[in-house]
């Protein structure tokens, strides 16, 4: 807040909205907003302009840009054609030098085993058996995840807290069929891999049959992660794209990383 | 000629190294493709905000992801790849615009219908009119102000925006406030 003005500047209000202020600044701005109706009006106007702008960007994206499998295929082709750089050590480790290197390596190994030979037991936890996890992670070929273009402000200002909006029966059947499960299969919930609150869509590529209650890595555990991750994204502790990517790639790993527990309670 | 045990070990090790390299490459390739799936639309939207054609935008996005692949292959820093990608797109789009300034295609919503938005005809006219006014006010802003707004809408922090655009943190904040005030004035008319 400017010392000379009795009102907040747009930069102050925007900083508050974008969580760019320090805790002390945030506190001061919030206190001022409580007592100043003019600044509250100004805040509303700024939010309204930002909302119009976000609408314009979203509209523009939907009008001009469509999903393009050919663009992905083109990139894949170019990636395959990339030259793999050779490291210097691979060039210098010729056959002449190798025997000496191996001798040194073996010597170091013997020394290492002598001093640090005892292996630590692996962190075994019966509850985290491969079976329980394998059932809970979708087949990436069928469900790689799909998102719509969204902005952070759109996601964080949304009041829709339904983590699992109803999926039409026809789509549910299609998902079950893809996974080779009979129609109306009990104990499975057709779940969103990337939840709508993080920009996930109800495209087939983003849906899979998840055990509803069975095992520990079930729909309830995923809901917990989704709520947690959404909050972290809106608090700007995690980038939206990182959150989308990690939940789409391995949601159990994301759970352990962000909820900071090895397994659900 | 029989080979010594050491030479056999050499070959095995080299073979293993090549195998590891290939599998590492495949993993990186998957990672890049996953990021492409997640970020293509947003990056393309940002590239197009420079007034370049859709084809040029697509080319730039491809180029950026190939650069990302090389970046990862060389074990370069991987924190904040989102900011890294936006920075690369920003630089490539600027270059492309300079090169093709004659063929730049400004966005034009004049012929766009809003039927997808379920509006009645009167609302549709108002909607289009508001969008047109906002769009033309946006187009009239200096490029750096447009980029600030766009990157902010993409959820980037001011610090990241300042790095991408090469301006100070204070300038990012000032640019955003100034631009929003201008857009708001246009919206009121």
* Residue A126 near chain B (CB below 8 Å): no
- Give per-residue pLDDT as tens, B23-52: 778 888 988 998 898 888 889 989 998 888
Share of chain B above pLDDT 70, in %: 73
pLDDT at position A144 over 90? no
- Give per-residue pLDDT as tens, A181-205: 877 666 778 889 999 888 888 888 8
Interchain pair B21, A248: CB under 8 A: no
Q: How far is CA B112 from CA A59, A143, B183, in A?
A: 10, 34, 21
Average pLDDT, chain B: 80
pLDDT at B112: 40
* Residue A45 near chain B (CB below 8 Å): yes
Q: Which of A60, A76, A94 marks a domain boundary? A: A60
In a domain, A54, yes or no: yes
In a domain, A82, yes or no: no
Instruction: Enumerate domains of chain B plus CATH numbers.
Output: 1-105 (1.10.1740.10)
My answer on whether A134 and A252 are in the same domain is yes
pLDDT confidence bin for A88, thresholds 50/70/90: very low
pLDDT confidence bin for B155, thresholds 50/70/90: confident
In a domain, A229, yes or no: yes
In a domain, A124, yes or no: no
In a domain, A264, yes or no: no
pLDDT at position A103 over 60? yes
Average pLDDT, chain A: 76
Interchain pair A61, B45: CB under 8 A: yes
Interchain pair B36, A53: CB under 8 A: no
pLDDT at B117: 42
Nearest partner of A149 among B159, B122, B94, B150, judged by Cα? B150
My answer on whether A135 and A54 are in the same domain is no
* Residue A147 near chain B (CB below 8 Å): yes
DSSP B2-57: PPPHHHHHHHHHHHHHHHHHHHHHHHHHHHHHHHHHHHHHHHHHHHHTTT--HHHH
Decide: A126 and A210 in contact? Cβ < 8 Å: no
Query: Residue A150 — left, alpha, or beta (φ > 0 → left; ψ -120 to 50 → alpha)?
Result: beta
Distance (Å, whole) CA B96 – CA A186? 55
pLDDT at position B7 over 60? no
Nearest partner of A190 among A200, A204, A198, judged by Cα? A204
- Give per-residue pLDDT as tens, A111-141: 555 544 443 333 333 333 332 344 577 887 7
Distance (Å, whole) CA A34 – CA B64? 46
In a domain, A17, yes or no: yes
My answer on whether A157 and A245 are in the same domain is yes
**Complex ipTM:** 0.72
Decide: A57 and B45 in contact? Cβ < 8 Å: yes
**Coil vs helix vs strand at A252:** helix
Nearest partner of A233 among A246, A220, A222, A250, judged by Cα? A246
Distance (Å, whole) CA B93 – CA B47? 6
Domain that holds residue A40: 10-60
Number of domains into which chain A is organized: 2
Angle in degrees, 0-180, between the axes of helices B121-140 and B143-153, rounded to the nearest 10: 120
């Amino acid at each position: 807040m400017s010392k000379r003005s009795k009102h907040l500047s747009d930069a102050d209000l925007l900083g508050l909205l974008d969580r760019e202020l320090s805790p002390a600044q945030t506190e001061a701005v919030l206190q001022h907003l409580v007592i100043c109706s003019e600044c509250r009006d100004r805040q509303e106007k700024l939010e309204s302009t930002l909302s119009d702008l976000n609408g314009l960007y979203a509209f523009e994206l939907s009008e001009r840009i469509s999903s393009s499998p050919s663009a992905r295929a083109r990139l894949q082709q170019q990636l395959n054609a990339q030259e793999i750089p050779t490291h210097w050590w691979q060039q210098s480790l010729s056959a002449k030098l190798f025997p000496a290197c191996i001798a040194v390596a073996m010597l170091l190994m013997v020394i290492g085993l002598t001093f640090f030979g005892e292996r630590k037991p692996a962190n075994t936890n019966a509850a985290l058996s491969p079976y329980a996890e394998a059932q809970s992670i979708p087949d990436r070929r069928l469900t790689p995840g799909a998102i719509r273009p969204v902005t952070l402000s759109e996601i964080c200002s949304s009041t829709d807290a339904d983590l699992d909006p109803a999926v039409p029966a026809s789509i549910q059947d299609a998902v079950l069929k893809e996974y080779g499960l009979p129609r109306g299969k009990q104990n499975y919930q057709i779940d969103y891999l990337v939840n709508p609150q993080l920009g996930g869509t109800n495209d087939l590529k983003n849906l899979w049959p998840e055990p509803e209650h069975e095992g520990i890595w079930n729909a309830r555990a995923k809901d917990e992660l989704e709520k947690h991750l959404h909050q972290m994204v809106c608090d700007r502790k995690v980038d939206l794209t990182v959150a989308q990517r990690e939940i789409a790639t391995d949601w159990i790993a994301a759970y352990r990383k962000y909820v900071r527990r090895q397994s659900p309670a | 000629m029989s080979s010594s045990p050491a030479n056999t070990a050499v070959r095995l090790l080299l073979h293993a190294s090549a195998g590891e390299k290939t599998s590492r490459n495949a993993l990186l390739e998957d990672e890049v493709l996953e990021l492409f799936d997640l970020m293509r639309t947003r990056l393309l939207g940002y590239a197009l905000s420079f007034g370049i054609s859709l084809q040029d935008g697509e080319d730039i996005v491809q180029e950026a992801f190939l650069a990302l692949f090389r970046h990862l292959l060389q074990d370069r820093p991987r924190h904040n790849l989102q900011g890294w990608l936006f920075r690369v797109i920003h630089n490539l789009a600027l270059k492309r615009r300079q090169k093709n300034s004659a063929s730049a295609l400004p966005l034009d919503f004049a012929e766009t219908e809003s039927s997808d938005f379920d509006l009645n005809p009167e609302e549709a006219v108002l909607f289009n009119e508001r969008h047109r006014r906002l769009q033309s006010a946006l187009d009239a802003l200096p490029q750096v102000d447009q980029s600030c707004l766009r990157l902010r809408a993409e959820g980037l922090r001011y610090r990241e925006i300042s790095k991408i655009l090469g301006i100070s943190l204070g300038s990012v904040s000032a640019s955003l406030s100034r631009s929003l005030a201008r857009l708001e004035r246009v919206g009121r008319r």
